[in-house]
C-alpha cells in the first residue's frame, strides 16, 4: 500500500464542490470519509468510493486531514468549536483542517489560533474552478496559514488543486478569494454591458465576444462563463446567486473594516443585491443575461 493510501481524509460538506473534492480524493487513493446532512449527497459520494460517515464526529475521529466545504464562516466555526474536545484528545496526533469554504479572514485567524494552542493546524484555502474543477482535481487554491501546515497538507492539496498558492498567514487565503470574487462579479456586469452595447450598435454579440477574448477586454467571465453558460442559455455553472451575493457582501464589509474606499465595488455590490428578479437559488450566470432587443 502506498503512503497516500494510508492517509485518512475527511470531507465535511458534500455539496457541489465538496462532493467533487471527495470523489477526487477517493479516486487518487486516499481513505476518504464524507459527511453531509443530506443522505442523498452521502449516497452519491459512496458510489465513488467515499466512506459515508454517520456523523461529523466520526470524521473528526478518524481523519488526519479534514477538508471543509461549508456555506458560511459561522458554519465553519460551529463545526470546529463543537469538536474541540475531540481534537484536544488527539493532541499527540496533529490534525490539519483545510477549509475550502469562502469564509471570513477574522474567523479563520481566530480558528487557527485556537487550534494552534491545542497542537493542530488550520488553513483557510478557498478555491476557484467550480464543480468541474473539484471533480477533476484541477482547482486553483489560495492558501492562508502556517508554512509547516501547508507542507504537511501538501499531498492532499495537490490531489485537489492544479494550482495551489500559499499567499500568506491565516486569513490571507480568504482575502485573496474575496478580491477574486469581487472582480469576477464586476467582470460579469461589465462584460454583459459591453455585449449589450455591441448589440445596440448593430454588432452581433457573438462576434463581439470573439473580439474581447482575443484582445485586452477578456476575463474568465468572457472566456468561459459567457460562451459556456450565458450565450447558450443553459445557466448551470453550479454557483448560485446567493453565494455570489454573499461573497460580494463580505468583500464590501472587508473594505469597510480596512478603510479601503472602493466606489466601483460599492456599485457592483448594489447591482448584485438589487437584482430582485433573480433568486438566491438561481445560477449566478443569469446575472450576465441581457435582452437582445431595444
Cα separation, 208 vs 231, whole angstroms: 12
For domain 175-288, the CATH architecture is Orthogonal Bundle (1.10)
pTM: 0.92
DSSP calls for 132-162: HHHHHT-EEEEEES-HHHHHHHHHHHHHHEE
| Tens digit of pLDDT at every position of the chain (294 positions) | 344 446 899 999 999 999 999 999 999 999 999 999 999 999 999 999 999 999 999 999 999 999 999 999 999 999 999 999 999 999 889 999 999 999 999 999 999 999 999 999 999 999 999 999 999 999 999 999 999 999 999 999 999 999 999 999 999 999 999 999 999 999 999 999 999 999 999 999 999 999 999 999 999 999 999 999 999 999 999 999 999 999 999 999 999 999 999 999 999 999 999 988 999 999 999 999 987 654
Domain boundaries, the chain: 4-169, 175-288
Catalytic residue IDs: 177
**How much helix, strand and coil, in percent to the nearest 5, is found in the chain?**
55, 15, 30
CATH number of 4-169: 3.40.50.720
* Same topology between domain 4-169 and domain 175-288: no
Whether residue 238 contacts residue 228, with contact meaning beta carbons closer than 8 Å, is answered with: no
Cα separation, 65 vs 37, whole angstroms: 20
Amino acid at each position: 500500500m502506498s503512503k497516500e493510501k494510508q492517509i485518512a481524509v475527511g470531507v465535511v460538506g458534500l455539496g457541489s464542490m465538496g462532493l467533487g473534492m471527495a470523489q477526487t480524493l477517493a479516486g487518487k487513493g486516499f481513505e476518504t470519509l464524507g459527511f453531509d446532512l443530506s443522505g442523498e449527497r452521502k449516497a452519491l459520494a459512496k458510489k465513488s468510493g467515499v466512506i459515508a460517515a454517520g456523523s461529523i464526529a466520526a470524521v473528526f475521529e478518524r481523519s488526519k486531514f479534514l477538508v471543509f466545504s461549508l456555506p458560511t464562516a459561522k458554519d465553519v466555526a460551529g463545526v470546529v468549536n463543537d469538536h474541540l474536545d475531540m481534537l484536544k484528545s488527539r493532541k499527540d496526533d496533529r490534525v490539519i483542517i483545510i477549509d475550502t469554504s469562502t469564509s471570513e479572514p477574522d474567523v479563520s485567524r481566530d480558528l487557527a489560533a485556537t487550534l494552534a494552542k491545542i497542537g493542530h493546524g488550520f488553513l483557510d484555502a478557498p478555491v476557484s474552478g467550480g464543480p468541474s474543477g473539484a471533480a477533476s482535481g484541477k482547482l486553483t487554491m489560495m492558501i492562508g496559514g502556517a508554512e509547516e501546515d501547508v507542507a504537511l497538507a501538501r499531498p492532499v492539496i495537490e490531489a485537489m488543486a492544479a494550482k495551489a498558492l500559499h499567499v500568506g498567514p491565516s486569513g490571507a487565503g480568504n482575502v485573496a478569494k474575496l478580491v477574486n470574487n469581487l472582480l469576477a462579479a464586476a467582470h460579469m456586469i461589465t462584460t454583459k454591458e459591453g455585449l449589450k452595447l455591441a448589440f445596440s450598435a448593430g454588432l452581433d454579440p457573438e462576434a463581439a465576444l470573439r473580439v474581447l477574448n482575443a484582445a485586452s477586454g477578456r476575463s474568465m467571465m468572457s472566456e468561459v462563463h459567457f460562451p459556456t453558460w450565458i450565450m447558450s442559455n443553459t445557466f448551470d455553472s453550479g454557483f448560485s446567486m446567493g453565494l455570489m451575493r454573499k461573497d460580494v457582501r463580505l468583500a464590501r464589509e472587508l473594505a469597510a473594516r480596512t478603510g479601503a474606499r472602493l466606489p466601483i465595488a460599492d456599485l457592483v455590490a448594489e447591482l448584485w443585491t438589487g437584482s430582485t428578479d433573480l433568486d438566491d437559488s438561481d445560477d449566478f450566470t443569469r446575472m450576465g443575461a441581457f435582452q437582445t432587443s431595444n
